């Protein structure tokens, strides 16, 4: 079963306590104790050394493994009482109060967060009073994240109204969520009942979301390796050529491409592949005078017409 971010965070917090009490613990024993694979445990151990007791780059967890045993070299240093500066305490209190208001947060988690917030307020003293005068309002993505996370945890189906920029339309669909992940933006991977296929949804494009009583039952799918990015063109995808001026050279940095040929004016001729060439019309409009699609001809003409329609709308 896919692990969501909150479940992984709980596990890693427990892992810190577990390892402190068991120096030199065997990798296999720890993995069995937490009900995860050894690869998942190693992935957690790769993250823990980036955590520590100081928000200002101080002491970090010095945990490593030789593949057989796990060693924590500075448990006594990390165990020292945490002392927060006033600005750190204020930031924590504001964030904690904001997260506690998220829709879809499980009640047990909300109560635990409120208890921790009360303890922090008591320890913060005057800083707690300053934080009470501040508030945070989440954009809609925060509520969507909470609902998706809850749906994954409770294995429930979701109903969405989702905006597709390639088609410039809102669609309604039911999906069985598989996992949440972040690659620049936050995404949900899910089995879409409308298309009967696996689809990826960007959370900030979800216009409306609702948890359903129906259980989520996605077919077994192999999770994609996202280490090379979200968009990973295939050799059989259509080829597109784009010419950009000096102000559009950033396209080569943000879009995976096959080649980028220098042009005399300081620009680039970029060749890339994409499963959905029509989605590049928005890129052409964004580039304006800094770039244009040159091939295939049908896509170039489509982008030109989209630009003319946009200009006409401004005229009206």
Return the pLDDT at 77: 66
CATH number of the domain where residue 65 is located: 1.10.10.10
SS3 string, the chain, reads CCCCHHHHHHHHHHHHHHHHHCCCEEHHHHHHHHCCCHHHHHHHHHHHHHCECCCCCCCECCEEECCCEEEECCHHHHCCCCCCCHHHHHHHHHHHHHHHCCCCCCHHHHHHHHHHHHHHHHHHCHHHHHHCCCCCCCCHHHHHHHHHHHHHHHCEEEEEEEEECCCCEEEEEEEEEEEEEEECEEEEEEEECCCCEEEEEEHHHEEEEEEEEEECCCCCCCCCCCCCCCCCCCCCCCEEEEEECHHHCCHHHHCCCCEEEECCCCCEEEEEECCCHHHHHHHHHHHHHHEEEEECHHHHHHHHHHHHHHHHHHHC
Of 195, 221, 247, the position where a domain reaches its end is 221
211, 98: one domain = yes
- 89 and 63 co-located in one domain: no
- Mind listing the pLDDT tens digit for each residue in 269-308? 988 887 767 777 777 877 888 888 888 888 888 888 878 8
Q: What is the CA angle 156-161-164, rounded to 5? A: 120
pLDDT of residue 65: 85
93 in the same domain as 73 = no
d(CA 25, CA 259): 49
Q: What is the pLDDT of residue 246?
A: 86
**Same domain membership, residue 272 and residue 244:** yes
Supply the pLDDT for residue 5: 64
Do 20 and 68 lie in one domain? The reply is: yes
In a domain, 177, yes or no: yes
* pLDDT at res. 166: 56
Q: Omega before 296 cis (within 30°)?
A: yes
If asked whether residues 61 and 32 sit together in one domain, one would say yes
pLDDT reported for residue 215: 93
What does the pLDDT read at residue 296? 85
Spatial CB neighbours of 260, under 8 Å, sequence gap ≥ 6: 252, 268, 269, 270, 271
Tell me which residues of the chain have a pLDDT lower than 70: 1-6, 53-59, 77-85, 101-106, 126-142, 165-168, 183-184, 224-236, 276, 314-316
Using CA atoms, how far apart are residues 130 and 108, in angstroms rounded to an integer? Answer: 27
The answer to whether position 233 is within a domain reads no
Angle, alpha carbons 153-156-162 (nearest 5°): 105
pLDDT in tens, 111-141: 887 888 888 777 777 666 665 555 554 444 5
Write down the pLDDT at residue 2: 45
Query: Is 96 contained in some domain?
Result: yes
Tell whether 248 and 135 lie within a shared domain.
no
Which domain range does residue 34 map to?
5-79
* Residue ending a domain, choose from 79, 109, 128: 79
- 125 and 41 in a common domain: no
What is the number of domains present in the chain?
A: 3
Residues 132 and 244 in one domain: no
Q: Is residue 105, in this structure, part of any structural domain at all?
A: yes
Look at residues 191, 221, 251 and tell me which one is the last residue of a structural domain. 221
**What is the pLDDT at residue 60?**
77
Same structural domain, 14 and 41: yes
Instruction: Note the pLDDT of residue 137.
Output: 47
Asked if residue 257 belongs to a domain, the reply is yes
Same domain membership, residue 190 and residue 149: yes
Q: Is residue 231 part of a domain?
A: no
pLDDT at 143: 74
Q: Is residue 215 part of a domain?
A: yes
**For residue 234, is it within any domain?**
no
Structure tokens at 192: 């879409």
Residues 59 and 93 in one domain: no
């Amino acid at each position: 079963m896919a692990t969501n971010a909150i479940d992984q965070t709980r596990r890693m917090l427990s892992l810190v306590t577990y390892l402190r009490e068991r120096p030199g613990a065997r990798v296999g024993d720890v993995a069995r104790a937490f009900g995860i694979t050894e690869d998942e445990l190693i992935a957690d151990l790769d993250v823990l050394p980036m955590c520590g007791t100081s928000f200002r780059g101080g002491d970090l967890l010095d945990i490593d493994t030789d593949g057989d045993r796990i060693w924590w070299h500075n448990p006594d240093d990390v165990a020292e009482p945490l002392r927060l500066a006033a600005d750190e305490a204020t930031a924590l209190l504001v964030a904690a109060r904001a997260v506690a208001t998220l829709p879809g947060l499980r009640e047990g988690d909300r109560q635990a967060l409120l208890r921790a917030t009360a303890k922090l307020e008591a320890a913060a003293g005057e800083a707690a009073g300053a934080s009470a005068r501040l508030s945070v309002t989440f954009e809609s993505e925060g509520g969507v994240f909470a609902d998706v996370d809850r749906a994954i945890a409770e294995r429930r189906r979701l109903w969405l109204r989702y905006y597709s920029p390639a088609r410039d339309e809102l669609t309604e669909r039911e999906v069985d969520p598989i996992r949440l992940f972040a690659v620049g933006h936050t995404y949900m991977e899910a089995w879409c009942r409308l298309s009967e296929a696996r689809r990826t949804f960007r959370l900030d494009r979800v216009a409306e979301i609702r948890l359903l009583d129906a259980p989520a039952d996605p077919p077994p799918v192999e999770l994609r390796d996202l280490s090379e990015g979200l968009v990973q063109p295939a050799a059989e995808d259509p080829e597109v050529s784009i010419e950009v001026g000096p102000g559009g050279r950033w396209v080569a940095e943000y879009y995976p491409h096959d080649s980028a040929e220098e042009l005399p004016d300081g620009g680039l001729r970029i060749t890339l592949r994409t499963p959905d060439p029509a989605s590049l019309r928005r890129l052409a409009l964004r580039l304006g005078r800094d770039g244009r699609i040159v091939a295939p001809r049908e896509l170039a003409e489509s982008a030109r017409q989209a630009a003319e329609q946009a200009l006409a709308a401004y005229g009206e």
